[in-house]
Amino acid sequence: MGKQAEITIHDIAKKLGISASTVSRALNNNPLISKATQAKIKETAAKMGYRPNTMAANLRTRKTNTIGVIVPLINRHFFSSVISGIEDVAYNSGFAVTITQSNDSFEKEEKIAQTLYSNRVDGVIVSIGMETTKFNHLKHFSERNIPLVFFDRVVDEIEAHKISVDDFNGGFKATQHLIEQGAKKIAHIGGPLNLNIYRKRLDGFCAAMKKAGLEVDRQMLLHNSLTRTDGTNAIKKLLKNPQKPDAIFCANDTTALSVIIYLVENGIKIPEDIMVVGFSNEPFSEVVTPSISTIRQPGFEMGQKAAELIIEQIKQKNQPSLFQNIVMPTELIIRQSSFKKKG
Amino acid sequence: MGKQAEITIHDIAKKLGISASTVSRALNNNPLISKATQAKIKETAAKMGYRPNTMAANLRTRKTNTIGVIVPLINRHFFSSVISGIEDVAYNSGFAVTITQSNDSFEKEEKIAQTLYSNRVDGVIVSIGMETTKFNHLKHFSERNIPLVFFDRVVDEIEAHKISVDDFNGGFKATQHLIEQGAKKIAHIGGPLNLNIYRKRLDGFCAAMKKAGLEVDRQMLLHNSLTRTDGTNAIKKLLKNPQKPDAIFCANDTTALSVIIYLVENGIKIPEDIMVVGFSNEPFSEVVTPSISTIRQPGFEMGQKAAELIIEQIKQKNQPSLFQNIVMPTELIIRQSSFKKKG
DNA sequence: TTGTACGCGTTATCAG
DNA sequence: CTGATAACGCGTACAA
C-alpha cells in the first residue's frame, strides 16, 4: 500500500555515485567534506525524503541522545512542571526525554530502572518514590558510568548531582512565620521520614520552635502520605487532642487544603482560630478561600537545571570528580490562611 | 574505573558452550527451546548481570516499543493526566513513552514530529497546538503506516483513531444549564476556531441558545488563547458593552477563574449578577470561592484509551480499515458559580 | 531442539 | 577530501 521502503544513506550514495560514508559525513557536518559535495548531498537527501535512522546510529555510537526521567506521579503539578523544564532544555540540546512514573511503588521503580537501562538512556533524572529505602537499582547507573541526577526526593547514599529546595529553611520560615503571627501550639503534618525532604521540613519546624522557646508536642506531630484523605484524618485526630493546635504547618499544599476544607466545614475560623501553612505552592493554593500560605518550589527551573547538569555530564563522558548539591532557595508566600497581622 | 564491558548474548553463549541464537531464543521465550536449557540460560544471564541491549534488538526488528506523545504543554493538569494514563497502559504493555511539548508553536511541533520519526517510534499520540493549521508533519506518519492517534485537539483532515470528549454536548449542557438558571444574555469566551474542540463548544453554545429562543449577540462572542490574561481582558471588554451579560460560558476553567477573580474584585456578585461556567474541571475549580461549575473531561481515561488504541494498531501492523472516533461523554458539574436555583 | 550465517543502517578506521 | 570495510548486538531464515 504505497509502503515505500525507507531511504538510507546508501540510496543517496548510489544516486549520486559516491560512497555511503561520504554521505554520512556530509549529513553529520563533518568538516572534512567539501562544501560543494556536502550541499549536493544534503539537497538530494532532502529531495528523497531521507530521515536518519536513529536506532542504527545509536547502536553504532552507543548513545541514544535520550534522557530517562523517573517521577512518582506525572499527573502532579510540581512534577509535571519539573518534566516540562527538563523537556525544554533537553529538546534544545537535541535530547529526547522518556518519562516514567513509579506511582510511589518500589517494585515499579525497580522495573522502570531496568527498562531505562535496557533502553540505554544516556542519563537518568529521578525523584524517588515514597516506599524506596534501597537503592541498588539506582546505584546500578552510577556504577556503569551512566549519569544520574536526583531532584527533590534525593538520596544521600548515592554520589550524584542533587537538586532540591531548601526544605529545612522552608520548614523553618513557615514555622517562624506562624510564631510571628502569634501561634504557640503548632502542629505539623508531615510525610514519610524515609524521604529526607520530609525529615528536613520537620527539622526546620523543630528548629524554629526551639529558637522561639516553644515546646514541640509529640501529639502534634503526625506523619502520613500527605493525600487529601490523610489530611482529613490528621486534622480530625489533632482536634481530638486535649491540647488543640492554634496553627498547623503541613508538608504539602494538598494536606493543607483538606485541613482547610475540614476546618471551614466545621465552623473553625482560619486564620483566627487556627492558622495553616502548606508547602509547594500548588495552583489551587492561590485561589482557594482562604488562600493558602505556602512555600514556593520552583519546579520548572529545577527541571531545567537537572537537564543542564545531566547533559553536561553526558557530554564529558567520565563522571565529574565533584558532585554538586544544588539547593534552590525557598520563598515564603503569605496568604490569608495565616495572615493575622504584620510579622 | 571498573567499567565492566557490557555483557552480550555471546558472552552467555560462550560461558555455556552453546550458540548465541539459542541464548537469544531462550531469553525471548521462544517455545522451541527445551525448558531445561532455557532455565539454565536465564539463570546464568541473571547471574552475569546481563541486560538486553534494546537498541540492537530495535535495529533488527525495526521496532522500538516506544510511543511518542506530542502535547501542547506538559505542565497542564489535563495534559499531564492524559500522559499519566498513557504511561500507565504503555508500561503494562512493555512500551516506553517519549514525551514532547510543542508549547503551542507550529514550528516546534514540526521539528518534534521529525525527531519522533527519526527515533522510529512505533506510534504517535498527539494533541495539536493552537497555531497548527497544516498537517503534513502528521500525515507523514500515517503515510508511512505509523499508527497515529489524536486526542482532544483532533484533526479532521487526517484519517486516524480520534479520542475526544463530546465538546458540542458539553457546550450545549453548560449553556442550557445557564439558561435554566435564568440567564438570558449569555456571553462566550472561546478558543481559537481552527481547533475543532473550540468550534464544537461554540456550536453547542449556539445550539442551546437557539433551542431556548435566545439570540446570540455577536458582541458577546470573544475568542482568544484562553490564558489568565486573556480571560481578564475578555471580561473587561464584555463589561464595557452596552449590553452586559448575565452569564458567561468560558471554554476553559483558567479563563473562568480569571473572570471570577475580576468580578469578585470589582464587587460583582457571582452567581447573582453574573453566572460563570468553565470547561475541563481543573483541580482548582472545586476549591476556589465561588467554586466553578464546569464540564468534566476524563484526562487519565482518555490517555489510557489512546494508549490502548495505538498499541492495538502497532501490534496488528497494517492500518485498520475503520478508524474509531471515540467521543467520551462529558459531565456537567454544577457548583457555586452558576447555582441559583434548581434547574 | 539447536547451530550457522547473514543483515538491520549507521559510523569509525584505515587507506588512498 | 573520499572510499572500502568492519563492526555495533541482536533476531531469524535455513540447515542440521
Vertex A11: Cα angle to A10 and A12 (nearest 5): 90
Q: How far is CA B95 from CA A119, A307, B54, B87, B315, in A?
A: 11, 23, 12, 8, 12
DSSP label of B5: P
Longest dimension (CA), chain A: 90
DSSP label of B288: B
How many Å apart are CA A178 and CA A182, to the nearest integer? 7
Q: Which residues of B touch A2 (CB under 8 A)?
A: 143
The pLDDT confidence band at residue B4, using thresholds 50, 70 and 90, is: low
pLDDT of residue A317: 67
- B250 part of a folded domain: yes
pLDDT, averaged across chain B: 93
pLDDT of residue A21: 92
Inter-chain residue contact A98 with B287, CB threshold 8 Å: no
Are residues A280 and A303 both part of a single domain? Answer: no
Closest-CA distance of chain A to residue B88, Å: 8
- Answer whether residue B320 shows pLDDT above 80: no
- Answer whether residue A4 shows pLDDT above 60: no
pLDDT of residue B342: 62
Inter-chain residue contact B284 with A283, CB threshold 8 Å: yes
Question: Average pLDDT of A1-26?
Answer: 83
What range does the domain containing B289 cover?
167-297
- CB burial of A201-225 (b: ≥16 within 10 Å; e: otherwise) equals bbebbbbbbeeeebebeeebebbbe
B56 beta carbon to strand D: under 7 Å: yes
pLDDT of residue A318: 66
Q: Which residue of chain B comes nearest to A109, CA vs CA?
A: B91
- Answer whether residue B113 shows pLDDT above 80: yes
Distance of CA B224 to the CA centre of its chain: 20
Question: Is residue B325 classed as helix, strand or coil in its secondary structure?
Answer: strand
Q: How far is CA A185 from CA B226, B255, B283, in A?
A: 44, 40, 31
Q: Give the H/E segment covering residue A222.
A: strand A221-223
Are residues B128 and B71 both part of a single domain? Answer: yes
The angle, 0 to 180 degrees and rounded to 10, between the axes of the packed helices A167-180 and A196-211 is 40
pLDDT of residue B211: 97
- Answer whether residue B2 shows pLDDT above 50: no
Inter-chain residue contact A74 with B52, CB threshold 8 Å: no
- Answer whether residue B102 shows pLDDT above 60: yes
* pLDDT, tens digit (0-9, with 9 covering 90-100), for B215-269: 999 999 999 999 999 999 999 999 999 999 999 999 999 999 999 999 999 999 9
- B4 part of a folded domain: no
Question: Average pLDDT of B60-84?
Answer: 94
The number of helices, as runs of H, and strands, as runs of E, in chain A is 13, 12
Are residues B307 and B292 both part of a single domain? Answer: no
- A192 part of a folded domain: yes
- Kindly report which listed range (A104-108, A265-269, B339-343) carries the lowest average pLDDT score: B339-343
A266 beta carbon to strand D: under 7 Å: no
Distance of CA B10 to the CA centre of its chain: 43
Alpha-carbon torsion (A128, A133, A136, A137), positive or negative: negative
- Answer whether residue A301 shows pLDDT above 60: yes
pLDDT of residue A144: 85
Nearest to B218 by CA among B235, B230, B206, B201: B206
In the structure grid, which three cell numbers stand for residue A246, read together?
492554634
**Strand pairing report for A331-333 and A294-296:** antiparallel
Q: Which residues of A touch B100 (CB under 8 A)?
A: 87, 91, 96-97
Are residues B225 and B113 both part of a single domain? Answer: no
Q: Give the H/E segment covering residue A230.
A: helix A228-240
Q: Which residues of B touch A96 (CB under 8 A)?
A: 98, 100, 115, 119
Q: Which residues of A touch B112 (CB under 8 A)?
A: 91
Are residues A33 and A47 both part of a single domain? Answer: yes
Which bases of chain C are under 7 A from a protein CB atom?
1-5, 7-13
How many Å apart are CA A30 and CA A34, to the nearest integer? 9
How many Å apart are CA A309 and CA A301, to the nearest integer? 12
Question: Average pLDDT of B140-145?
Answer: 87
Question: Average pLDDT of B37-47?
Answer: 92
Inter-chain residue contact A84 with B74, CB threshold 8 Å: yes
Supply the pTM of this predicted model: 0.91
Inter-chain residue contact A288 with B283, CB threshold 8 Å: no
Question: Average pLDDT of B155-181?
Answer: 96
pLDDT, averaged across chain A: 93
Are residues A48 and A89 both part of a single domain? Answer: no
pLDDT of residue B71: 97
- The residues near A70 (Cβ < 8 Å, ≥ 6 apart) are A100, A101, A102, A109, A112, A113, A116, A124, A125, A126, A127, A128
In the structure grid, which three cell numbers stand for residue B235, read together?
471580561
Inter-chain residue contact A96 with B73, CB threshold 8 Å: no
Are residues A194 and A266 both part of a single domain? Answer: yes
* pLDDT, tens digit (0-9, with 9 covering 90-100), for A269-294: 999 999 999 999 999 999 998 999 99
Identify whether A320 is preceded by a cis peptide bond (ω within 30 of 0). Answer: no
Comparing CB atoms, the residue among A4, A75, A289 nearest residue B289 is: A289
* pLDDT, tens digit (0-9, with 9 covering 90-100), for A213-222: 999 999 999 9
Query: How many other C-beta atoms are found inside a 10 Å radius of the C-beta of residue A17?
Result: 6
Are residues B160 and B303 both part of a single domain? Answer: yes
Inter-chain residue contact A54 with B119, CB threshold 8 Å: yes
Question: Average pLDDT of A194-210?
Answer: 96
A57 beta carbon to strand C: under 7 Å: yes
What are the contacts of A283-286 at 24+ separation with CB within 8 A?
A: A283/A77, A283/B77, A283/B282, A283/B283, A283/B284, A284/A253, A284/A257, A284/B283, A284/B284, A284/B287, A284/B288, A285/A253, A285/A256, A285/A257, A285/A335, A286/A335
The pLDDT confidence band at residue A3, using thresholds 50, 70 and 90, is: very low
DSSP B94-108: T-EEEEEE-TT-HHH
Percent of chain B residues past pLDDT 90, beyond the cut:
86
- A132 part of a folded domain: yes
Are residues B289 and B234 both part of a single domain? Answer: yes
* pLDDT, tens digit (0-9, with 9 covering 90-100), for A52-83: 999 999 999 999 999 999 999 999 999 999 99
Longest dimension (CA), chain B: 90
Comparing CB atoms, the residue among B64, B75, B287 nearest residue A257 is: B287
Do residues A174 and A168 make contact, with C-beta atoms less than 8 angstroms apart?
no
- How many contacts does A have with B, using Cβ atoms within 8 A? 140
CATH number at residue A44: 1.10.260.40
B207 beta carbon to strand C: under 7 Å: no
- B58 part of a folded domain: no
Q: Which residues of B touch A1 (CB under 8 A)?
A: 145, 318-319
- A186 part of a folded domain: yes
Comparing CB atoms, the residue among B1, B96, B117 nearest residue A145 is: B1
Are residues B155 and B303 both part of a single domain? Answer: yes
Question: Average pLDDT of B15-23?
Answer: 92
Q: Give the H/E segment covering residue B118.
A: helix B106-118
pLDDT of residue B328: 95
Question: Average pLDDT of B294-312?
Answer: 96
The pLDDT confidence band at residue B305, using thresholds 50, 70 and 90, is: very high
A144 beta carbon to strand D: under 7 Å: no
- A337 part of a folded domain: no
Are residues A221 and A291 both part of a single domain? Answer: yes
pLDDT of residue B318: 65
Nearest to B20 by CA among B55, B49, B45: B45
Please, which residues bridge with residue B277 across strands? B249, B293
Å from the B32 CA to the D16 C1': 15
Nearest protein residue to nucleotide D6 (CA to C1' distance) is: A60
* pLDDT, tens digit (0-9, with 9 covering 90-100), for A81-93: 999 999 999 999 9
Q: How far is CA A101 from CA A19, A96, B188, B305, in A?
A: 45, 17, 38, 18
Å from the B324 CA to the C3 C1': 46
Are residues A76 and A145 both part of a single domain? Answer: yes
- B124 part of a folded domain: yes
Q: Which residues of B touch A77 (CB under 8 A)?
A: 75, 77, 80, 283
Please, which residues bridge with residue A62 across strands? none
Closest-CA distance of chain A to residue B273, Å: 20
- Answer whether residue B319 shows pLDDT above 80: no
CATH number at residue A134: 3.40.50.2300
Q: Give the H/E segment covering residue B47.
A: helix B35-48
Q: Give the H/E segment covering residue B264.
A: helix B253-265
- Report chain B's terminal Cα–Cα distance, integer Å: 73
What are the contacts of B267-274 at 24+ separation with CB within 8 A?
A: B270/B336, B270/B337, B271/B181, B271/B336, B271/B337, B271/B338, B271/B339, B271/B340, B272/B340, B273/B246, B274/B244, B274/B245, B274/B246, B274/B247, B274/B248
The pLDDT confidence band at residue B1, using thresholds 50, 70 and 90, is: very low
The domain total for chain A is: 3
